[in-house]
Copies of this chain bind each other. A is one copy, B any other.
Amino acid sequence: MNPSSILKSIYQHPQLNSAASEEIIKAHKKVFFKKGEIILKEGQQSNAYYCMESGLARAFAVNSAGKDITTSFFSPGNVVIEVASLFLRVPTEENIEAVTACECWKIDFSDFQALFEKIQGFSEWGRTWMTNSLLENKLRSLHMITDSAKERYLRLQKEQPLIIQQAPLKQIATYLGVTDTSLSRIRNEVAKEH
């Protein structure tokens, strides 16, 4: 199976030459998930991560009241991963689920770890990836504080329109930190304004 341009773009980095990124890419295998399929379940230990080729997935946490809160969405070009469980080698407290049918490139932790130590520049690649994740997360917290529900919705619509189109309202609502009722009203209001 040929590696896709998406997979190549994920491993694009100033400190990874083409031989290195090719070797990394070779360690990935194509896998598929059906709509609704659980990719990682709370309590399990994560032993791999996935590069998203097509489809949409989400991570969610279940709070004490049994309510599920979407904590992130994974679109094509994103790395589908539960960082804490994978790198700290502990059971995950989150779930990852395929929102639509997904096509992914899987790499096992043991293969990743071997390449991480072997390949010059792979740790810098990882550091850059982590840095960007951290940045995104910080922005998410910040917007949660400074922006209204409507502003958060509009930002998501602008920056990640595919999520709005593909995920059910309830999942988007918990991701934005509002109830589904409120999001429905916001959506209505936005539609009225054209």
Contacts and interface: CB of A to CB of B under 8 A. Distances in A.
Contacts of A144: 141, 144-145, 177
A80 to B, nearest CB: 15
A128 interface: yes
A167 to B, nearest CB: 16
A137 interface: yes
A138 B87 contact: no
Q: How many copies of this protein are present in the complex?
A: 2
A134 B133 contact: yes
Chain A contact residues: helix, strand, loop or mixed? helix
Contacts of A132: 88
Interface in A113-158: 116, 123, 126-128, 130-135, 137-138, 140-142, 144-146
Contacts of A69: 142, 145-146
A143 to B, nearest CB: 10
A128 to B, nearest CB: 7
Interface in A33-76: 61, 63, 67, 69, 71
